Structure 1
Amino acid sequence: MKNKLFQLAFLFLFLSFFSVVVNYDKGASPTFFKKEIPQQIDITYALAEPLKSLDPAEANNMSEAKVLSNIFEGLVRYQSGTSEIEPCLATHWELSKDGCSWVFHLRKNVTFHDGTPFNAQAVKISIERQLPPQKKDTMSYGSFTFGMLKKIEVIDNYTINFLLTTPYSPFLRNLAMPWAAPIISPSSLKNLGNDKMLLAGTGPFYLADWRNGAPILLANEKYWDKKPFIKSLSFLPQSPQQRLASLNKGTVEMADVSGLPGDTIKAQNVITTSQSSASLSYLGMFNNRPPFNNDKVRRALCMAIDTRELTKNIFGDQSLAANSILPPEILGYNKNLRPYFGGPEKAKALLSQYGYTEGLDITLITYNTPRPYNPLGGTELATTIKKQLAKAGIRVNVKVYPWHEFKSALRKQEGDAFLFGWVSDNLDPDNFLYTLLASDEITKTNLTHYKNSEVDRLISAAQREQDEKIRKRLYYHAQQIMLQDTPMVFLNYGQDKIALTKNIQNLKLNPFGIPLFAKAYIQ
């Protein structure tokens, strides 16, 4: 009997110990993910794209960025309304004279959502997981953001040194990107597995649930900056028709409405806010073969296209007509730059002067889907351009392709000209001029095959230059030469447009068109 009692007592003690161990493990896990979700969410935001991943290393679309920007933070961030950089998880930094060493001093007393302390080691782990040999094929932006890194050195808990292979001034803006750059808790990475719910950042909100592709975020009450007024957010990917219906029924408080007709929003308590986006729609010409290896023929095409009319048809807003390769709010943009103009008669006269007395026949290839810089789609845009060019004696045969086939046709240089566009990755001018015009990019993103040694020199000098004022002058000079050469016709900048209920106050958009909820409130 005593032996049995002893066994029972031992079993009781063992179970008690086991319970303590289990509870300890639970306490060490990110328990905030299990916090009760309120029945009434403060703001439900209808997004334009599906959410495939909320891991910053794997995310790659703008809807994912709109969720990530509330959960995670980087060392630096864009100032509200501009592409200028301000401190975030780093308080300040120094750049060496040779431009190859960036030393960042980190913010102290910051914790990730799972309670893990933020420090230099966390920064190193977040970045190195996206580089060889750890990099996975699903990590889209790691190479772009950090490919110029030679080494990351942890100097102490709150100081970290990025050593670059060569001077590269756009690196600072890379660190503010909503993809790849945000810092993740090392503890949550260890527990990641297939459960993206475990990822923890330092942002003003944390991921509390993710049901049927719709994440729910709750306010981070231990946020290092001012605590958010809004307590809960929900993000709901929907089709254009669903977004309009949700706004009109009042089942969402916000929605992406870029490219949607404004007169279809019937709800009286809904307003829209918009801004030009960091994207560009352009008509490219193959500069490496006739007829567009002649810059005078390229100029004639530019003269014949009325970009203000095009932009009015696309957005109902002529102000989005592009005057150069850089969108507003990007360093180096200058509203006084002007492409060739003059209308169809002057274009016809120029063509005749250079041997095209009977006009010109060209094939224009385009895509069949809406794009961020062209919500109406390539077919309608090409049809309008065809009508405009006909007045100048330029006869256009339009060939339309599904998106993936279109990109293949571009690589093969089918046709004589094409419609395309670019959406900025990092809000740096280099991302437009180098990407679209540099000779080094001809086999990659310089689809016009444009070559100009002076433009190459200016772009390269701007990449190495530390002084933003000097960089601005270099880009301005490069744009002047490029406008004279006319490798492409700049059609329009894109537009970010969001509908929201009138009671949402102090909601700002960054230059990516990402709403910043940290300081917003509901009246």
Structure 2
Amino acid sequence: MGFTCALAVAAAGCAESQRGEGGGEGGSLTFGAAGAPDLFDPFYASDGETFRVTRQIMEGLVGFKEGTADVEPELAERWEHSPDGKTWTFHLRQGVKFHDGTDFNGEAVCKNFERWYDQTGAGQNNALSYYWIENFGGFSDGAKPSLYASCESPDATTATVHLTRATSKFPDLLGLPSFSMQSPTAMERYKANDVRAVGDSFAYPEYASAHPTGTGPFKFASYDSGNAAIRLERNDEYWGEKAKLNDLTFRIIPDETTRKQELESGGIDAYDFPNAADLKALRDAGNKVEVRDPFNIMYLGITQKNNPALRDLRVRQALAHAVDRENLVKANLPEGAEVAKEFYPDTVDGYADDVQQYPHDPARAKQLLAEAGASDLTLNFYWPAEVTRPYMPDPQGIFNALAEDLREAGITVNAVSKPWNGGYIDDVDNARADVFLLGWTGDYNTPDNFIGTFFGTPDNRFYTAASPWGEQLATELRTADAEPDDARREALYQEVNRKLLSDYLPAVPLSHSPPAIVVSERVQGLVPSPLTAEEFAGVSVTG
């Protein structure tokens, strides 16, 4: 949401959510989760399985309209900002309590902000405070600049947040699960900030393992690690429409085939990211396969640190012409997938319709390689094993297709495969791959969340000091993000997108893929989210 849009929403009362007092239809739902949450404190999390659980327990000042990536009021009924975009005043919903009975008010909002900002020691580790560092930057020790300046509460129904600069991603970023409002009382009682580094891992406090406390329609009940099950129960004191379900259980079932079998046997009622090859059989068996709108990007990443040939724009353009994206989408991705022309979907602001195109053309690829003196190009092509991502449902099949395209253009491919959490991400982040498969599912609907995340710093995985345009691109992205005028910001991002494809080409955009979620015929009311951020309060189970 842009600055002008936010102001218009504020003036209109932010299209205040009309939540009634229904609920209580009963029923229980069991969801087959692909993995165990790392913990239940979303501020210290960056994994989807943690967020899937905490999203039911906690709420933010803003949320996302069901079934969309559009911001709407949640615990803040409306907001407005100063002309310079640095001061944001949130008018809070009244009569809301945390699950432990603590009042939600302006003081609670500021205590949450100060808790995030005041992290020390292990709490400042990127592995823990990832979303704070990515969106706000530094902490109160001043070691690095921070977007956040301060928070004040002039009264119980108001919280004013001061920023150090204007940014297009505010207040949208407050809809991220990491910035959910949590009970100050519970956090103090169960020592929420007492996280410690233990070797290569972390030890979490009692709050994060057993006492997560929010304002949402479900409350945390238990985590039975022995039986790999997390149980939530309906919050009968919820401020809005009560959840229809009596309780909600997440069973941890890492194997996708086992999740499918459990659905067929009635052991679970739903699971995420079914194999595209199983969709017809799932539908034929009477299940409902809900296909989300694609709000993601898969790309062929290019690292320029170790292979000097890749620093030549002509070589990167040759890679773009070599890959057959149309065939990739048709043969390897689920129904509804689309060829990507740039690095985010066309529903995001700043999308430019006139970016440079790279049609599949092996002859042109060979010509460009020859012009660059790289006809004998050899690439270490990394692909991830033991993983399924929303944008990358079949990593090995996708790799095989792209590797064959590159070979057709005369490029020698050395295949390197490692487990996603067993060396792949580490190698990609440390620039050991020449080219690699990666992608992103949007957290919220702003350009900065996509291309700002990918290319906003000159020392990330896509380019190094060997790329003279790295700092220039980062500066262009910062300038666009800080522009408070909607129309000027739109034009700035459009120009960045044009240059990304014509002048820079740090990666090759491949596709947007619609990830699916499957539920049994007994499940009613599930609304698929393009953010893969489904909420279960409106769901019921019959029979």
Q: Deviations over 1:159-206 (max 9, x none)?
A: 111111222221312100012x11112222233251544332111222
Q: Deviations over 1:363-388 (max 9, x none)?
A: 323333424132323x4433321211
Shift of the 291–368 alpha-carbon distance from structure 1 to 2, 3 Å rule, reads: same
1:80 and 2:66 correspond: yes
1:141 and 2:131 correspond: yes
Shift of the 136–416 alpha-carbon distance from structure 1 to 2, 3 Å rule, reads: closer
Deviation at 1:85, TM superposition (A): 1.2
Deviation at 1:395, TM superposition (A): 2.4
Shift of the 199–297 alpha-carbon distance from structure 1 to 2, 3 Å rule, reads: closer
Alignment of 1:52-201 (within 5 A): 52-133=38-119, 136-137=122-123, 138-147=128-137, 148-179=147-178, 181-192=179-190, 194=206, 196-201=209-214
Query: 2:303 maps to what in 1?
Result: 286
Larger radius of gyration: 1
Query: 1:228 maps to what in 2?
Result: 243
Distance 1:192 1:442 in 2: 40
SS at match of 2:175: coil
SS at match of 1:292: helix
1:324 and 2:342 correspond: yes
Query: 1:517 maps to what in 2?
Result: 536
Distance 1:186 1:139 in 2: 18
Query: 1:249 maps to what in 2?
Result: 265
1:492 and 2:505 correspond: no
Distance 2:523 2:500 in 1: 43
Shift of the 411–236 alpha-carbon distance from structure 1 to 2, 3 Å rule, reads: closer
**Correspondent of 2:221 among 198, 208, 222:** 208
Does structure 1 retain, via aligned residues, the 8 Å contact 2:110–2:151?
yes
Distance 1:299 1:318 in 2: 27
Deviation at 1:233, TM superposition (A): 1.3
Q: Relative to structure 2, which stretch is displaced further, 152-161 or 504-513?
A: 504-513
Does structure 2 retain, via aligned residues, the 8 Å contact 1:286–1:413?
yes
Distance 1:331 1:302 in 2: 24
Alignment of 1:435-454 (within 5 A): 435-438=453-456, 441-447=457-463, 451=469
Query: 1:4 maps to what in 2?
Result: none
Shift of the 108–254 alpha-carbon distance from structure 1 to 2, 3 Å rule, reads: same
How many residues are treated as equivalent by the alignment?
A: 480
Shift of the 275–472 alpha-carbon distance from structure 1 to 2, 3 Å rule, reads: farther
Shift of the 156–474 alpha-carbon distance from structure 1 to 2, 3 Å rule, reads: same
Deviation at 1:119, TM superposition (A): 0.4
One-letter amino acid of the counterpart of residue 252, structure 1: I
Deviation at 1:411, TM superposition (A): 5.0
Distance 2:539 2:354 in 1: 35
Deviation at 1:430, TM superposition (A): 0.7
Distance 1:446 1:168 in 2: 23
Distance 2:48 2:239 in 1: 26
One-letter amino acid of the counterpart of residue 268, structure 1: A
Deviation at 1:348, TM superposition (A): 2.4
Q: Deviations over 1:220-245 (max 9, x none)?
A: 22322222323321111112132111
SS at match of 2:311: coil
1:463 and 2:453 correspond: no
Deviation at 1:107, TM superposition (A): 0.9
1:218 and 2:236 correspond: no
Gap regions ≥5 residues in structure 1 = 1-37
Does structure 2 retain, via aligned residues, the 8 Å contact 1:128–1:134?
no
One-letter amino acid of the counterpart of residue 251, structure 1: G
Deviation at 1:423, TM superposition (A): 4.0
Q: Relative to structure 2, which stretch is displaced further, 58-67 or 470-479?
A: 470-479
Distance 2:284 2:251 in 1: 19
Q: What is the root-mean-square deviation in Å for CA atoms of aligned residues? A: 2.8
Does structure 2 retain, via aligned residues, the 8 Å contact 1:359–1:394?
yes
Query: 1:388 maps to what in 2?
Result: 405
SS at match of 1:418: strand
1:398 and 2:398 correspond: no
Query: 1:340 maps to what in 2?
Result: 358
Q: Deviations over 1:34-93 (max 9, x none)?
A: xxxx9x952111111212211122232112211111111000011223322111101111
| Structure of greater relative contact order (alpha carbons < 8 Å, 6+ residues apart) | 2
Distance 2:300 2:534 in 1: 30
Q: Deviations over 1:232-281 (max 9, x none)?
A: 21111112132111111011111113446325648723121122454332
Gap regions ≥5 residues in structure 2 = 1-23, 138-146, 192-205
SS at match of 1:508: coil
Percent identical residues: 28
Query: 1:237 maps to what in 2?
Result: 252
TM-score (normalised: structure 1): 0.83
SS at match of 2:43: coil
One-letter amino acid of the counterpart of residue 303, structure 2: F
Does structure 2 retain, via aligned residues, the 8 Å contact 1:281–1:490?
yes
SS at match of 1:476: helix
Does structure 2 retain, via aligned residues, the 8 Å contact 1:249–1:267?
no
Q: Relative to structure 2, which stretch is displaced further, 246-255 or 501-510?
A: 501-510
